[in-house]
């Protein structure tokens, strides 16, 4: 029995190491490619060790340093504000739905589940946000659509409240004269850090990586997020490379297009990778309890 347990432990360790390698190796290759000369990539392809070290891709990007800093500022504001407000709204909806005495609880749950399965599509959404709410070319166009699409997160948090917060604890607070808001703030939230961290991380990743809202609702360069700006830089490179190479302009045709793609991915993903370890303590627990227990 002891040998079987050791074998299963060793097998589990090997499998987890393989999964970890599958996650880490592509990112190492990504960084290496971003530091490789464009001609070396064309001649030898991608490799874990740069064939010819070059920072041309980062130099090209940071030549537009003011644009990138402004885009980072927009993205940081959208991510922080959107995450905070999104988690607040999700909590204020999920908590009443976790209480069996909430009136019309089943109807509200059905409405949330319905929005998870069906949506009106891009054209009705565009008309609502641009004509009804008049959000086009405003910073709120990058925030509001994300806040209003948290159905899955609401159900996750509701499940967590139901499975983790003892009803007797809530009843005890009510007997002591605590209001619903005081119960939520002083009793429920302090023991709900795992799910709050998990939902916050999910929401932050959504806002940080979001490019679609910017592409649809934003045309002012000063409101571009980092993802929109990097996407437009890539489109400019592709246009210049394609058109000038057809005119045999070798100097411009050898722009670091491939390495720039990799450098853009590094710039876009690095802040989230840095932030993730700080949420990891609560992240996994919140996912497991909020999604598995019923």
Which tens digit of pLDDT belongs to each residue from 65-82? 678 888 888 999 999 999
pLDDT at site 182: 85
Which tokens sit at 11?
Answer: 């097998």
Question: How large is the C-alpha radius of gyration of the chain?
Answer: 24
Cβ neighbour number for residue 68 with a 10 Å cutoff: 18
Domain membership flag for residue 5 = no
pLDDT at site 251: 47
Confidence (pTM): 0.78
Q: pLDDT per residue over 166-216, tens digit each?
A: 888 888 887 888 788 888 888 888 888 888 888 888 888 889 888 888 888
The CATH number that applies at residue 238 is 1.10.3720.10
Domain membership flag for residue 51 = no
Contact 201, 276 (CB under 8 A): yes
Domain membership flag for residue 253 = yes
Per-residue pLDDT at 293 exceeds 50: no
Query: Which residues on neighbouring strands pair with residue 53, listed in sequence order?
Result: 36
Domain membership flag for residue 241 = yes
pLDDT at site 112: 87
Which tokens sit at 241?
Answer: 């490379």
b/e for 27-52, b at 16 or more Cβ within 10 A?
eeebbbbbbbbbebbeeeebeeebbe
b/e for 128-150, b at 16 or more Cβ within 10 A?
ebeeeeebbebbbbbbbbbbeeb
Q: Print the domain residue range for 203.
A: 58-292
DSSP 138-187: SGGGGTHHHHT--HHHHHHHHHHHHHHS-HHHHHHHHHTT--HHHHIIII
Contact 170, 192 (CB under 8 A): no
What spatial distance separates the first Cα and last Cα of the chain, rounded to whole Å?
34
Domains held by the chain: number: 1
Domain membership flag for residue 220 = yes
pLDDT at site 233: 75
Chain-centre distance for alpha carbon 206:
3
Domain membership flag for residue 126 = yes
Domain membership flag for residue 12 = no
102: DSSP letter: S
Domain membership flag for residue 33 = no
**CA distance linking residue 246 with residue 253, whole number of Å:** 9
Nearest-CA neighbor of 263 among 240, 237, 243?
237
**CA distance linking residue 194 with residue 197, whole number of Å:** 5
**CA distance linking residue 215 with residue 23, whole number of Å:** 29
Q: pLDDT per residue over 27-71, tens digit each?
A: 888 888 888 887 887 777 788 888 888 888 888 777 776 788 888
Looking at 80-89, 90-99, 183-192, which range is the least confident one?
183-192
Per-residue pLDDT at 285 exceeds 60: no
Mean pLDDT of 94-116: 87
Query: Which residues on neighbouring strands pair with residue 36, listed in sequence order?
Result: 53
Mean pLDDT score of the chain? 80
């Amino acid at each position: 029995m002891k040998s079987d347990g050791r074998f299963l432990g060793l097998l589990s360790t090997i499998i987890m190491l393989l999964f970890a390698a599958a996650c880490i190796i592509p990112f190492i290759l990504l960084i290496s490619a971003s530091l490789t000369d464009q001609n070396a990539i064309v001649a030898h392809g991608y490799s874990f060790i740069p064939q010819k070290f070059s920072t041309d891709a980062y130099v090209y990007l940071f030549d537009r340093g003011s644009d990138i800093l402004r885009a980072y500022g927009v993205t940081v504001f959208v991510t922080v504000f959107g995450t905070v407000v999104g988690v607040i709204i999700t909590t204020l909806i999920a908590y009443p739905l976790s209480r069996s005495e909430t009136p019309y609880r089943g109807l509200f749950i059905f409405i949330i589940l319905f929005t998870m399965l069906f949506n009106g599509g891009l054209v009705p959404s565009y008309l609502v946000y641009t004509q009804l709410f008049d959000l086009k070319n405003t910073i709120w166009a990058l925030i509001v659509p994300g806040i209003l699409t948290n159905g899955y997160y609401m159900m996750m948090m509701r499940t967590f409240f139901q499975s983790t917060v003892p009803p007797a604890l809530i009843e005890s607070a009510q007997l002591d004269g605590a209001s619903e808001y005081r119960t939520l703030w002083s009793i429920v939230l302090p023991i709900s850090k795992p799910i709050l961290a998990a939902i916050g991380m999910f929401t932050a990743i959504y806002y940080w990586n979001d490019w679609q809202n910017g592409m649809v609702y934003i045309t002012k360069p000063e409101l571009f997020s980092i993802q929109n700006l990097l996407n437009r830089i890539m489109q400019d490179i592709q246009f210049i490379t394609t058109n000038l190479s057809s005119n045999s302009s070798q100097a411009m045709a050898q722009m670091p297009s491939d390495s720039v793609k990799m450098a853009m991915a590094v710039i876009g993903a690095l802040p989230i990778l840095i932030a993730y370890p700080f949420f990891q303590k609560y992240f996994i627990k919140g996912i497991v309890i909020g999604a598995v227990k019923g």
